[in-house]
């Protein structure tokens, strides 16, 4: 009955932590493609090929349902995977959907015409690949009108977090927020469009100011997954064991993950 959770590195652990707390009875297999991280500076074909390889590995672990806990993979690869690659008996879900549902206050299956929403000026902080894909803007436009989205590519933040250099990460966050505010001086909401960024949520909030609503994804994804499994219990796969897999150095990744989650996490070689 295992569910797979995939990220290029450690950022998806923010999602994993939330879904484990929400669904403690479900075993999760986490896959970190640390040998190829970060994905945010790669081209779309690279991201697609790496993501499909990782998802296939999670299927081998008995995970018929996989969460792409990686905005870059969700933005650059998921639509292509859904159109031509995923078998009928498997599911791969991204992290954009719950976020856009929250922002537009409408369910994903609501196919009524786009309508106005309360928030008009949205700042999107994401990796360069996510920004280049314009996936968030595309999906938002299907559901809302009159929303101005200003995207800021946050180079270096993921690397700093993965390396545990929080001083550098905070400095980069302030720099990227300053750059965003030069383009959009008064955002009403900010989207942390990378699963690494919740670790820096306080830094983003401080730089943006208390009047800006900051949306991150972990709890939204957990609520959405619980609802999905309630409606589709057959998508729980055959896997029975919680595991942590990585393409990188398991000792190094385990150390980073333990620091990330503040509890012991032990990775195996994928």
The residues carrying an active-site annotation are 70, 194
Question: Buried b vs exposed e over 156-165: b needs ≥16 C-beta within 10 Å?
Answer: bbbbbbbeee
Q: Which of 17, 19, 18 is nearest to 3 (CA)?
A: 19
Q: DSSP states of 146-194 as a string?
A: S-EEEEEE-TTHHHHHHTT-HHHHHHHHHHHHHHHHHH-SS-SEEEE-S
Give the integer Cα–Cα distance in Å for 40 and 19: 24
Whole-number Å distance between alpha carbons of 181 and 196: 21
Q: Could you identify the residue written with the tokens 């996989």?
A: 66
Tokens of 47: 């991201």
Asked if 14 and 21 touch (Cβ cutoff 8 Å), the reply is no
Residue with the two structure tokens 């250099």? 165
Half-sphere exposure of residue 125, counting CA atoms within 13 Å on the CB side?
36
């Amino acid at each position: 009955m295992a569910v797979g959770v995939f990220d290029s590195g450690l950022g998806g652990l923010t999602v994993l932590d939330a879904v484990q707390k929400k669904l403690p009875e479900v075993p999760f297999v986490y896959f970190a493609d640390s040998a190829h991280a970060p994905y945010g500076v790669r081209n779309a074909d690279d991201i697609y090929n790496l993501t499909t390889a990782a998802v296939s590995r999670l299927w081998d672990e008995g995970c018929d349902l996989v969460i792409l806990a990686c905005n870059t993979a969700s933005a650059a690869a998921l639509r292509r995977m859904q159109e031509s690659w995923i078998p009928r008996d498997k599911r791969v879900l991204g992290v954009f959907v719950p976020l856009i549902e929250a922002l537009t206050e409408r369910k994903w299956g609501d196919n009524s015409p786009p309508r106005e929403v309360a928030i008009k000026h949205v700042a999107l902080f994401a990796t360069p690949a996510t920004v280049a894909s314009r996936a968030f803007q595309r999906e938002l436009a299907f559901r809302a009108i009159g929303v101005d989205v200003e995207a800021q590519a946050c180079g270096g933040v993921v690397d700093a977090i993965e390396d545990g250099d929080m001083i550098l990460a905070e400095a980069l966050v302030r720099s990227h927020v300053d750059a965003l505010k030069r383009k959009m001086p008064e955002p009403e909401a900010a989207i942390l469009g990378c699963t690494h960024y919740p670790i820096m949520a306080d830094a983003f909030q401080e730089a943006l100011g208390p009047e800006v609503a900051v949306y991150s994804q972990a709890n939204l994804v957990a609520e959405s997954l619980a609802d999905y499994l309630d409606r589709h219990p057959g998508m729980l796969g055959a896997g029975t064991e919680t595991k942590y897999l990585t393409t990188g150095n398991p000792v190094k990744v385990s150390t980073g993950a333990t620091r990330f989650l503040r509890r012991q996490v032990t990775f195996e070689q994928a």
